[in-house]
Amino acid sequence: MNHRRIKLAQDTISRDDIEALVEWLREDHQLTKGPLTQAFEAALAEYVGTKYAIMVNSGSSANLLMASSLLEAGYLRNKKVVVPAVSWITTLSPFIQLGFECFLCDSDPDDLGVDLDHLEELLRRERPALMIVVHILGHPNKMRQIRSLCETYDCLVIEDACEALGSEYDGVKTGALSLAGSFSFYYGHHISTIEGGAIATSDEHLYSTMLSIRSHGWSRDLPESDRIAWRLEHGIDEFREFYSFYYAGYNLRSTDLNAFLGLQQLRKLPEIVQLRSRNFERYRENLPKLWVQRSEGSFVSSFAYGTFVRNRLELARHLRGMGIECRPLVCGSMGRQPFWIRRYGAMNLDVADRVHDYGLYLPNHAALTADDISYITNCVNEVAIPL
């Protein structure tokens, strides 16, 4: 009888992290957003390689904040956006909710980022002001070519790097490869603040706008020079400033409790990304007959091991019976999700459809051992039919 249990995520927040948090809570610190949130933001920006980082309450909120801030601050010449068909629901949904016209881009057959030919077709035909790339399962997109195409067609680029914390492309970390990039610190991701997320950017004006929209649309969190300038521009005195709102903002803030955990986690992150990368290579070596994701010029801080099989449901049931968690390869194609079909009708895209019908991913996390991977891959090889 099988007694092994291998989860998609395990011990992301360790017992040591919890005990340190308990001790910190006993010291009666501020729990709402405060000095530790700022310390975490500074440490994350340094790690990613940007001037600024903004901590929020989820990776989904990070995408919402990027979309809203770009729109409100006048960065966009129209409300058209290219979104990868293979992505996550809250990569796309903020743009739908904000009234954008959204164009789904098919996937690259190797890295599962955006397909360059389809991207150029969309840029040429639709002339969108914005595109968001998603680094699927930690594999960076072909960013040199994407940035070149988008520069040619006057299209801004942002990143959803929620699955790619610590990955690099040409020596630059994901999240710093574009105007702004989002991260998620959900329990199943590389590091966790329970729930949580962040945006990295080096653009000062966008940074201030995001700080404002994150917190109701007021100016309290802004750098002092911007706060004073905004107040003077609108003729607001120092007392009225407490409750003055420059944008129709949200409350997307995180807390110092989450930030405390985040600072603990960042200390472990360099080791975590190396372990995840090594695990990916072990999977690749043990599954030589199955499709493997590849990305050029990259270091991959692997989120999970993705592949294609003809008998996906049979394999998933087999793995579940052997105590191994697995999932479809992210959302498959957004063009075949119920919400998209209901609004726009089904959309067929060659590679995205392959992901939708045949893709799945296997566990990868820092607690996974070589023996665990041997067990998982032996179970896969017993049943999987290569595509």
Nearest to 254 by CA among 45, 47, 72, 38: 38
DSSP string, 95-152: HHHTT-EEEEEPBPTTTSSB-HHHHHHHHHHH--SEEEEE-GGG----HHHHHHHHHH
Please give the C-alpha separations between residue 202 and each of 55, 176, 287, 306, 318, in angstroms, as whole numbers.
Answer: 15, 8, 40, 32, 47
Please, which residues have CB within 8 angstroms of residue 45's CB and are 6 or more apart in sequence?
Answer: 51, 52, 53, 200
Q: Are 76 and 100 in contact (CB under 8 A)?
A: no
Residue the block writes with tokens 């291998």: 6
Q: What is the pLDDT of residue 2?
A: 57
Q: Which residues pair with 82 in a beta bridge?
A: 103, 131
Tokens encoding 147 = 């940035």
What pLDDT was estimated at residue 217?
A: 98
Enumerate residues 6+ apart whose C-beta is below 8 A from 52. 41, 45, 200, 201, 202, 204, 207
Q: Do residues 204 and 45 touch, judged by C-beta distance below 8 A?
A: no
Sheet holding 359-362, edge to edge: 305-308, 359-362, 327-328
Distances (CA, A) of 167 to 64, 116, 292, 301, 310: 23, 21, 17, 5, 29
pTM: 0.96
Q: Which amino acid belongs to residue 378?
A: N
Identity of the residue numbered 184: S
pLDDT at position 1: 45
Residue 297 has a pLDDT of: 81
CB atoms within 10 A of CB 238: 8
* SS3 assignment, position 362: strand
Reference 289, options 353, 382, 354, 356; nearest CA is 382
Domains belonging to the chain, first-starting first, are 15-259 (3.40.640.10), 269-383 (3.90.1150.10)
Local structure of residue 366 (DSSP, 8 states): T
Residue spans of the chain under pLDDT 70: 1-3
Question: Each residue of 290-306: pLDDT tens digit?
Answer: 999 999 888 999 999 99
Q: Are 163 and 112 in contact (CB under 8 A)?
A: no
The tens digit of pLDDT for each residue in 110-127 reads 999 999 999 999 999 999
What is the pLDDT at residue 34? Answer: 94
